[in-house]
Amino acid sequence: MIKRTLSYKVLFVFVLLMACFSGYAQTNKQQQLESRRQELRREIEKINALRAENKSKEKSELSLIEDFNYKISVLSNLIKVTNQQANLLTREINTNQDKISDLREELVQLKEDYAAMIVKSYKSKNQQSRIMFLLSSEDFKQAYKRLQYIKQYSEHQKKQGEVIKAKTEELQATNTKLLKQQQEKKTLIAENRAVQKTLEAERRQHQSLMFDIKKNLSRYASQLRQKQREADRIDKEIEKIIRAAIAKSNKKAGKSTSSKSFALTAEEKVLASNFVANKGKLPWPVERGVVRLGYGTQRHPIDKSLTIKSNGVRIATTKGAKARAVFAGEVSEILKMKNVNPIVMIRHGNYLTIYKNLSSVYVKKGDKVNTKQEIGEVFTNPSNGDTILSFTISKGFNTENPASWIYKM
């Protein structure tokens, strides 16, 4: 019997803990979704601000398509996250509605029991009946037990009143929370409808522009291939420079020049370790910007038969924006090629950050730089107003996705 009682108690505690954990998990998930929703809203504000800044410029169809694609992607994500929030709120609302029903039933029963207790107490409340109840005891032991019973009954009555008060307050708090959740859900749904309208308008403009582009698809395809060839040429030159720098560092350290990684000094090892320790927390290479093109090989948004190979990210920013070092390091190279804007390479131990498409450079080879130090100004295309920084992170000559390194990219 005792074992069974203990089992029930353990089961009750387990169920209670699971309910508390579930409630915490839901609250935590809701906070994460809200944080992500606010990030996406800020991203849309940045996109709109950049568009407004370059509104007077006659942008190329390719630039416009990239703008539309990115904004459509962010809007779609915003709708998705908002829907997740609304669905989570719906589950929480249903849970609280069930809780309110249970609390009301519990309160009805508690009040009925309390009323019966009050009636019973009233009938036997006069002092004489209590004294008679005690005097009619067969012995002192029974009288003592009866006195304890009277005290316990009185205490139980008091506790019952406190339980009713606590349950009533819990019911009121749950009702208030429920009303707040219902209002939050209405607000989310209203915002989502507005975002949906914006998304539909963006898609219509995108489709209209794509219709015009497809009339001259061969001309655009030729331009795209030319741009990819130019990007590949720059990337090959950068890789060549990195290989030479790796060979030089290994020769200096007395190691094989065919090694695929830098030979690091004790100081460089510490720097590389600190760089890795800050993965996901590095600042953006510009103060304000949005990623127009992500990392990796991807289908081209205009001609699906073509692919874009991106060794980094392209960040759209404001005119006059300054490129910033994302971490402390040493300027390993200032690369200048024919018909290509200057490129700055900064080494952080065995890692490199590469900043392409600068109009002017504020540092020189061998300079030590600090986190967020301005290293140059980003080039602004005079024909379309685009200010684009191409940014790459590599370990040796193997590139990595900057979105994994830069804070909330």
Q: pLDDT higher for 353 or 188?
A: 353
Question: What CA–CA distances, in Å, run from 84 to 28, 40, 80, 277?
Answer: 13, 14, 6, 32
Kindly state whether residues 237 and 351 are assigned to the same domain: yes
CA distance linking residue 328 with residue 370, whole number of Å: 4
**What integer is the mean pLDDT of 73-102?**
86
Q: Are residues 241 and 156 in the same domain?
A: no
Pairwise pLDDT comparison (264 vs 145), residue with the higher score: 264
User: Is residue 49 domain-resident?
Assistant: yes
CA-derived radius of gyration, the chain: 35
- Note whether residue 383 is domain-resident: yes
Which tokens is 390 given? 């191409």
Tell me what the mean pLDDT of segment 211-216 comes to. Answer: 76
What is the model's pLDDT at position 90?
Answer: 87
The DSSP code sequence of 214-265 is HHTHHHHHHHHHHHHHHHHHHHHHHHHHHHHHHHHHHHHTTS-TT-SS----
> Is 43 contained in some domain?
yes
Question: Which residue, 237, 292, 273, is CA-closest to 63?
Answer: 292
Within a domain: 178: yes
> Which own/partner contact pairs does 273-276 have at CB distance under 8 Å and 24+ positions apart?
273/349, 274/327, 274/328, 275/327, 275/329, 275/348, 275/349, 275/351, 276/351
Residues 146 and 255 grouped into a single domain: no
Q: Residue 310: enclosing H or E segment and its boundaries?
A: strand 307-310
Q: Which of 194, 215, 236 is the last residue of a domain?
A: 215
- For range 136-145, the mean pLDDT: 68
Question: Mean pLDDT, to the nearest integer, of 193-222?
Answer: 83
Which of 189, 215, 241 lies at the terminal end of a domain, its last residue?
215
Average pLDDT on 184-194 reads 89
Condensed to tens digits (0 to 9), the pLDDT of residues 286-339 reads 999 989 889 999 887 777 777 888 999 999 998 999 999 999 999 999 999 988
Tell whether 198 is covered by a domain.
Answer: yes
75 and 127 both lie in a single domain: yes
Task: Count how many domains the chain has.
Answer: 2
303 & 173 share domain: no
In a domain, 409, yes or no: no
Instruction: Tell whether 324 and 395 lie within a shared domain.
Output: yes
Quick one: 200 and 242 in the same domain?
A: no
Q: Has residue 158 been placed in a domain?
A: yes
Claim to verify: residue 221 and residue 150 sit in the same structural domain:
no
pLDDT surpasses 60 at 135: no
Least confident of 14-18, 83-87, 200-204: 14-18
**Helix, strand or coil for residue 331?**
strand
Instruction: Point out the domain boundary residue: 215, 230, 253.
Output: 215
- Tell me: the pLDDT tens digits for 103-115? 788 777 777 776 6
Question: Do 200 and 232 lie in a common domain?
Answer: no
The answer to whether 27 touches 96, Cβ cutoff 8 Å, is no
Domain-embedded: residue 62: yes
d(CA 353, CA 369): 12
pLDDT band (50, 70, 90) for residue 12: very low
> 244: domain CATH number?
2.70.70.10
202 and 233 inside one domain: no
Q: Which residue segment(s) compose the domain that 262 sits in?
A: 217-404
In terms of pLDDT, which residue wins out, 95 or 5? 95
Over residues 20-39, the mean pLDDT reads 76
Verdict on whether the full-model pTM lies above 0.85 = no
Query: Can you give the pLDDT at residue 114?
Result: 64
Residue 97 has pLDDT above 60, yes or no: yes
| Residue 121 pLDDT > 60 | no
Asked if residue 362 and residue 236 are part of one domain, the reply reads yes
- If asked whether residues 196 and 230 sit together in one domain, one would say no
